[in-house]
Structure 1
Amino acid sequence: MFSRSALARAFALPLEQATRQSLTTTTFRACLHQASTPSNTSSEEPLSATPRAQFSTPTEQPTHPTPTANPPVTRADVPIAKQPLPPTFMTPLKVSKSLLDTLPLLSTQKPHYISAHLHDRPYLLTEGDHLRLPFLMPKVKPGDVLRFNRASILGSRDFTLKGAPYVDERLFECRVRVMGVDSEPLRVKEKTKRRRRHVQKITSKHRYTLLRVMEVKIKTVEELEKEGEVVVE
């Protein structure tokens, strides 16, 4: 049978467990209370989530003076250094007597063709032609009108005027309009090296500028006289 000490210990076990739970709860609550209440003995200021910068008046940043230079004439996105310069010549146009005699025949016989040079590449153009440049021309938009001022040959069906190496740009006018941008199909090129098991694939998709020739004009003798041409023997 059970002894008195075993029975007393069995009856006292629930009381001991209840006492331990109460002590643990009291200690945990005391720790939470101490952690939530700041101590007043410390001399440091309590931490705050609000920054101190918002209570101070903001300092004004120094503003740099805007340049007083005139804005670009063509477009605002083109800097002044990259704008096309107007044709300014220090000396008047000098033409020979034989050129003045044959120029009316060339200017009246249409259509005209021109061998225009762009980046040292000749392009044989007539009015109404579509030209796709082999590169993407920067700083141009669809609708812009450009002028080709470098040509080596001006001609018609029966007459031809050749320059040495270029014809003076005051003798003709060639204007083109930017139609848009054309792109080629995507090309994939595989590159590999010897004794390597890796194949590198390189993709390329070039873009080109599309132009349309709006005007090819050879000036008449009357127009050259208004510009102040000088006849040289």
Structure 2
Amino acid sequence: MFSRSALRSFASELRWTAPSTISSAPLQQRACLHQTASLMNSPQSQSPSSSTHPESPLSATPRAQNASPKGIPPSGNFDEATMTPQTRADVPIAKQPVEPTFTTPLKVTKSMLSQLPHLAGQKPHYVVAQLHARPYLLTEGDHLRLPFLMPKVKAGDILRFNRASAVGSRDFTMKGTPTIDERIYECRVRVTGVDSEPLRIKEKTKRRNRHVKHATSKHRYTLMRVMDVRVKTPEELLAEGAVVVEDGEDASVIEPRS
């Protein structure tokens, strides 16, 4: 049997040697992992086969960049602040509006054809557009907030208002009967996003009833920006196939503002 002194010395050796052996193992393992990660990221860790036999021959001439950097459009004139196209040619084909189709040519009276250059040459133009039986007085650059959420539209879509009761400038006004033919003018708007109002809570209760109901509502509205409002010249109308007719009572008239 061991004596008490031998047991005490053996226990002391276990007490002091065990923590050192246990704590040293994770440190060595952690150091090995750190070294392997640094070796893998270093350029010298690549295999000699990949360095000596590349997939494509190396060349000193710079290659053309196929993709444009993130956030910069590939081509066209864009506003650097809002990244919006400046002309209609810079708008993608998928975002451009669909051209309308007509079965009969446009009929223009002689009096309107004679006064149309004065209206088309005087800018800026305004239009009283009709949308769901509501008039909207719009000019180029205006921001429009519709009192409803327009379905099936996304931010960036271009729409055309083709129902207008009046189109004019500072000194001239063209009035429709009741609307103006959409082939005479152009009013294009861009959908910028959707706005929502704060959450409203309305309490509903009945007389002699202790229960109170809470009705919540949070409406959303479509935001737009008017991109272009202009009146076509007589040359453009005749090139598109307009027909000159005699003056009639049901034709649109250009009146000078008093």
In our comparison, the structure showing a higher alpha carbon Rg is: 1
Structure 1 residues 178 and 85, CA gap change in structure 2 (3 angstroms): closer
Aligned to 2:203: 190
How much has 1:86 moved relative to structure 2? Answer: 4.3
Aligned to 1:38: none
CA distance in 2, matches of 1:205, 1:166: 35
Aligned to 2:155: 142
Listed as ranges, the matches of 1:161-176 within 5 Å are 161-176=174-189
Which residue, out of 133, 144, 147, partners 1:131? Answer: 144
Aligned to 1:101: 114
CA distance in 2, matches of 1:205, 1:164: 39
The DSSP-based 3-state class of the residue aligned with 1:181 is strand
1:113 aligns with 2:126: yes
- 1:55-89 Cα offsets, whole Å, 9 max, x none, are xxxxxxxxxxxxxxxxxx969xxxxxxxx874222
Percent sequence identity is: 73
The DSSP-based 3-state class of the residue aligned with 1:169 is coil
Runs of at least 5 residues in structure 1 that lack an aligned partner in the other structure = 1-72, 76-83
- 1:25-61 Cα offsets, whole Å, 9 max, x none, are xxxxxxxxxxxxxxxxxxxxxxxxxxxxxxxxxxxxx
CA distance in 2, matches of 1:180, 1:104: 36
The DSSP-based 3-state class of the residue aligned with 2:192 is strand
CA distance in 2, matches of 1:201, 1:150: 41
Aligned to 1:59: none
Which residue, out of 214, 221, 239, partners 1:208? Answer: 221
Report how many residues are paired.
153
If the length of structure 1 is used for normalisation, what is the TM-score?
Answer: 0.63
How much has 1:195 moved relative to structure 2? Answer: 1.3
CA distance in 1, matches of 2:218, 2:94: 30
- Give 2:236's aligned amino acid: E
